[in-house]
A = this chain, B = another copy of it.
Amino acid sequence: MAKDRMAALDAHWRAANYLAVGQIYLLANPLLTEPLKPEHIKPRLLGHWGTSPGLNLVHTHLNRVIAERDLDTICVWGPGHGGPAVLANSWLEGSYTQTYPDITRDAAGMERLFRQFSFPGGVPSHVAPETPGSLHEGGELGYSLAHAYGAAFDNPDLLVTCVIGDGEAETGPLAGSWHSNKFLDPVHDGAVLPVLHLNGYKIANPTVLARLPRAELDELLRGYGHDPIHVSGDDPRRVHRDLAKAMDQALDRIAEIQREARDGRAGQGGKAQSGGARSGKARSGRGRGGTSEGAASGRPRWPVIVLRTPKGWTGPAEVDGEPVEGTWRSHQVPLSGVRENPEHLRQLEAWLRSYRPEELFDAEGRPTRLVLDGVPDGPRRLGANPHTNGGLLLTSLPLPDLDDFAVPVDKPGASTHEPTRVLGGMLARVMADTAGQRNFRVVGPDETESNRLGALYEATGKAWQAETLDTDEHLARDGRVVEVLSEHLCQGWLEGYLLTGRHGLFSSYEAFVHIVDSMVNQHIKWLKTSRELPWRAPLASLNYLLTSHVWRQDHNGFSHQDPGFVDHVLNKSPEVVRVYLPPDANTLLSVADHALRSRDHVNVIVAGKQPCFDWLSMEQARAHCARGAGIWEWAGTENGNREPDVVLACAGDVPTQEVLAAASLLRTHLPDLAVRVVNVVDIARLMPQGEHPHGMADSEYDALFTADKPVIFAYHGYPWLIHRLAYRRTGHANLHVRGYQESGTTTTPFDMVVRNRLDRYRLVMDVIDRVPGLAVRAAAVRQRMADVHTRHEAWIREHGTDLPEVAEWTWSG
């Protein structure tokens, strides 16, 4: 590399390092125009220095290749807790000032940049939604590489660079993410360039990958399907040279892989399986053995850069006699007593001056030409690439007329359908209609078919780049259904896909969506903050279809029974979270249509895959879902002219069935009782108006549920959730909720509701117990209900099936 290019790179890196240190420490005197004094120092020293010089290095070198190659790239900063680094670079390239005009690219702006960092009313310490060019918060570690792959899917011209810290690399989700390359199509997808940054330490410990012998690490990375390119050292000049060379090698190799694949030369035997980003020359095919000998997959080996530099590089070597640079002690704030300790103050000043700020910034505090030499312009800048503000690129999905997929319902309960199968038809149409624009994906942990969404395969295949066999079905290099047995990968890919301006749906077994509890937390936080930033354009919502739910785990039992995800998300920002429990096929269609049109939400849809009664026509379903909750007059016995004696409420498909069966029993056995049936689809409707945008007014609540009549509420999940939502309502004291009470095993569907006291007979007993005066008058009816329970117990133990009167029950109005 030419000496002046090297000098420019180093100047940029020094400038970024200077700005990172400044953000952690300085309130004033940003250019060190006077000797540093205690009053220039922030009263609370916060932030993460250790990872920052490495991030600055990668950013500096990405600038070079972007400018030289006119590269369309974004970077996912796995160690995003090194916020000062990314902010520094954005300020240097001008994207920060473009986004926040008050933070000017001069001394005054520099002072504001420093002051605002981790300061009340300022910006958070991590890469966050507030950071231009970011789509990933680096606080909770594990998801950077999955986000990167999601961003690359269906973005054939995009390179997604992904810095992975060696701390993050220890997490399970990250370890599993390496295999994402088996799902990335070099023709229709972009490329991911992982940069594994081994700075050797996490908070207080060495890292596993940094302490593997290099040969072992190489085996690991090759086993992940990558060809490693190493850059290592603590001499800046040498590292600049080697990293520049490594980036060129990697990018050349990626270009070669893409060219080969796109010219149709891949997939023809072992050739594409070889490669050689390190040498630049093709190597001979690798030996393969065992039963995996078969058709070569043509899957390329993608490059990975392994960057080994000291933690806290260029920071204080020693503090108070302890080594700091190159150790875990540089993780956060290496000099902690700067205001009080003159030696620390002196060290800080020496540290800052070591970057030679006078070469980096002119007298007005503007970056010098040397620093900005070769920094890219416009939307190619990492802080301005529109893929990181994906809403800018978002186009609406072509959503079909739901009537094309609706099931015909002349009268309620006369037929059954598998709701998710009906939805599958609609999703298949969306998939087919986006074949050209390729901006819709369905992800799932190997359950798309099991969840009855198999119609999708009429429109696309399952993404797969590894070996295929004759017996395989629906695998395709360019498939837009993505299945892997990892909820983490499904979630991470989909998040990356949505954050870059596309659409999607995650179908999961209800119980196992808890695996991504923490990931959805972070995504909700991201959306909550993004909604408050005017420059962030709205994104397509993250849509969950939770099926194979708690009530129908016939094959799997207790370990697969958990309806608590709804509780989990309802703790989070109400602006973002929506939860729907459609009771049948047509309501599922309506809800899914709404979710796919929505923006900046997390929509949780809980719906069964087993045959379910069709209650509402498409027209009725639309109207019911628009209200979110409503009286089903046809199901009750109010006769319209007085308040009911009791309200039977339901939310969820199985509870709806049991409530309707209970209403039917009451109609037969207690024909004088005025029973109202209320179905709730949109569970947040139960919340007070001020607490959730969908919360209903008290008057509306009372009109539905009455202010003083007993309400027996059959709910899909944990019963106390309904109390938590409705505790402020006038009639709350009369609310009695049945739901899942953590009683489960492999048993019959009806036994599940009996065990959890949600069954029709129990509900009738609840009504008798709670409607004043009924206990005596209806004692015989109550006994009949109890008798059915007794018969049920004996019958299932004998026959292993449900009572015929339950198995054959249909609604008779």
Contact = CB atoms under 8 A, between A and B. Distances in A.
A528 B43 CA distance: 50
A586 B232 CA distance: 49
Contacts of A179: 170, 175, 208
Interface string A709-741: 000000000101101100100001000000000
Nearest to A472: B206
17 contacts: A47-B555, A126-B556, A142-B172, A170-B486, A172-B488, A205-B446, A213-B467, A214-B292, A215-B288, A216-B223, A219-B219, A220-B220, A232-B290, A511-B521, A517-B568, A571-B718, A720-B727
A512 to B, nearest CB: 6
* 5 closest residue pairs by CB, A with B: A220-B223, A139-B559, A172-B176, A172-B172, A213-B288
A693 interface: no
Interface stretch (A113-121, A398-406, A408-416, A591-599): A113-121
Contacts of A170: 176, 179, 484-486, 489
A118 B746 contact: yes
Contact of A560 (B139, B558, B723): B139
Interface in A313-367: 323, 326-327, 332
Contacts of A568: 517, 564, 567-568
A290 B214 contact: yes
A233 B289 CA distance: 12
Interface in A160-205: 167-168, 170-179, 182, 200, 202-205
A658 B176 CA distance: 44
A48 to B, nearest CB: 7
Contacts of A44: 554, 748, 800-801
A515 interface: yes
Given A219-B222, A290-B214, A512 B518 contact: yes
Interface in A483-497: 483-489
A514 interface: yes
A301 to B, nearest CB: 9
A448 B204 contact: yes
Nearest to A165: B485
A515 B514 contact: no
A42 B119 contact: no
A572 B218 CA distance: 44
Contact of A556 (B81, B564, B720): B81
A469 B327 CA distance: 10
A300 to B, nearest CB: 12
A65 to B, nearest CB: 23
Interface residues of A, number: 140
A537 interface: no
Residue of A287, A488, A796 most packed against chain B (CB within 10 A):
A488
Contacts of A139: 556-557, 559-560
A493 to B, nearest CB: 12
A216 B212 contact: no
Residue of A44, A174, A286 most packed against chain B (CB within 10 A):
A44
Given A206-B466, A555-B48, A800 B119 contact: yes
Contact of A559 (B27, B140, B748): B140
Nearest to A747: B120
Nearest to A728: B723
Interface in A73-122: 81, 118-121
Contacts of A283: none
A777 interface: no
Given A171-B176, A172-B177, A567 B558 contact: no
A121 B208 CA distance: 47
A742 interface: yes
B292 A212 contact: yes
Nearest to A489: B172
A745 interface: yes
A308 interface: yes
A204 B473 CA distance: 9
Interface string A29-42: 00000000000001
Given A214-B289, A472-B206, A558 B124 contact: yes
Nearest to A297: B211
Interface string A779-810: 00000000000000000110111000000000
A368 interface: no
B203 A449 contact: yes
Contacts of A521: 511, 514, 562, 564
A175 B215 CA distance: 20
A669 interface: no
B555 A125 contact: yes
A464 interface: yes
A446 B746 contact: no
A233 B628 CA distance: 56
Contacts of A723: 723-724, 727
A377 interface: no
A450 interface: yes
Contacts of A168: 485
B732 A207 contact: no
Contacts of A172: 142, 171-177, 486, 488-489
Interface string A279-311: 000000011111111000100000000001000
Contacts of A801: 43-44
Contacts of A757: none
